[in-house]
Amino acid sequence: MRSSQRLLCTAALVVAAVTTSWAVESGPVRSVDNIPPAPVTELRALNTGDEVLVTWTQSVDDAVSFTPFGDAIVPRGGVNGYRVYRTVQGESAELIGIVSPGSFEYIDAAATAGITYIYSVKPFDADNETDPAIEPGSADDLARIISLGGQPPDVVVVTRVQSQMTFDAVIDVEDEAAVEVFVTDFITLLANLLGIDPARISVTSVTAGSIVVDFEILDVEGADDEHTAAEALENLLALVEDDTADEFATIGPVLQIEDNTSTDTVVIPQPVDAEGNVILGWFTRGGTQVGLDDFFAFAENFGRTDASPEFDSTFDIVPNGAVDLDDFFAFAEYFGKIVANASEIKDLLNQ
């Protein structure tokens, strides 16, 4: 076994207190407000044709109340205003406006037609701002996503099963060959321990600080006999917690493991061909073209109407409340077409 020594250096800054006869005056020091305001609710983004109207129900703290504190009555709550953010998928949120307390709407006149935006409104006080408490994929989440002047965006909820493991080991992360060997060994060992295909494990980063490995476990469509990604990670967490055996002895002792699973709302762009023309009928998102799997999916839904609980408007290509011959002929026009942005869409869907 190869061991490595570590040198930990701690620097202490010692400040000596010197007493003098001089008096030192100082002004009042503002206390830090560590209680954030309550979030807004009923956040909506409304398409008015050439601009977006963002509305919300104010934070319940959008009014100053008073409460006893010791022998005094002090103000409590209150917000200084609202910050309005706009996000395009894959980019950082952009602060587009700040409005005063008591406000409940904001007009985004700078939105561009054809681009899908996600809006957020955060009440703030002197030291804090609060994100809206919205469940990904919920009706409240969808209500704040809008494409100006276009059809409602295709929105899905994607869960990424991710983890971070820290090993008590040393590797030169600048040595690409060494990192490649480590990643191969790690994936092989992890796949064997969890009983899953190594192709389902994707290492996203290897960094120093001992060895810190970030990775993702992928799900497999239609593989009923395999553990789901969530089950695989749950099994891994149990293995690490059970210290009766060191399953990672060939790599190094596990110092820490974190469950970094995330659930996000993802806006899926429309499938297009090489010229940018929209392709309809790629229902299954399989392969890179509209194929037989899509035909069978369409056939299964053929004949259903919006009066049926099983009706799926996705297959109503020519919208009339029924999956009928008009939709069949429309589907036939797209059959066999190559989806130029198939890889982008599959990545967003975590496929």
Question: What is the torsional sign of CA 107, 113, 119, 125?
Answer: negative
Q: Among 230, 263, 296, where does a domain finish?
A: 263
The yes-or-no verdict on residue 15 having pLDDT over 50 is no
What pLDDT digit, counting tens, does each position of 22-75 carry? 444 555 555 556 789 999 999 999 988 889 999 999 999 987 666 666 777 655
Return the percentage of the chain with pLDDT > 90, whole number: 55
SS3 348: helix
CATH code for the domain of 231: 3.30.70.2470
Provide the pLDDT confidence category of residue 16 given band limits of 50, 70 and 90: very low
Chain centroid to Cα 253, Å, comes to 31
Distant-in-sequence, close-in-space partners of 1: CB < 8 Å, separation ≥ 6: none
In a domain, 26, yes or no: no
In a domain, 11, yes or no: no
What pLDDT digit, counting tens, does each position of 204-239 carry? 999 987 899 999 998 876 666 788 999 999 999 999
Q: Kindly state whether residues 227 and 294 are assigned to the same domain.
A: no
The yes-or-no verdict on residue 306 having pLDDT over 70 is yes
Dihedral of CA atoms 287, 290, 294, 296 in degrees, nearest 10, equals -110
Q: Kindly state whether residues 303 and 243 are assigned to the same domain.
A: no
The pTM score is 0.59
Q: Among 122, 152, 182, where does a domain finish?
A: 152
Residue 170, domain extent: 162-263
Phi-psi region of 50 (alpha: psi -120 to 50; beta: other; left: phi over 0): alpha
Domain count along the chain: 3
What pLDDT digit, counting tens, does each position of 239-297 carry? 999 878 888 989 989 999 999 999 888 888 888 899 988 899 999 988 999 999 999 99
**What pLDDT, on a 0 to 100 scale, did the predictor assign at position 266?**
85
Q: Kindly state whether residues 129 and 83 are assigned to the same domain.
A: yes
> What's the one-letter identity of residue 171?
I
Tokens describing residue 164: 């971070």
Q: What is the DSSP string of 268-322?
A: EPPPB-TT--B-----S--TTB--HHHHHHHHHHTT-BTTSTT--GGG-SS-SSB
Q: Kindly state whether residues 101 and 74 are assigned to the same domain.
A: yes
CATH code for the domain of 325: 1.10.1330.10
Q: Are strands 201-208 and 211-217 parallel, antiparallel or unpaired?
A: antiparallel
Q: Kindly state whether residues 85 and 71 are assigned to the same domain.
A: yes
Q: Kindly state whether residues 69 and 148 are assigned to the same domain.
A: yes
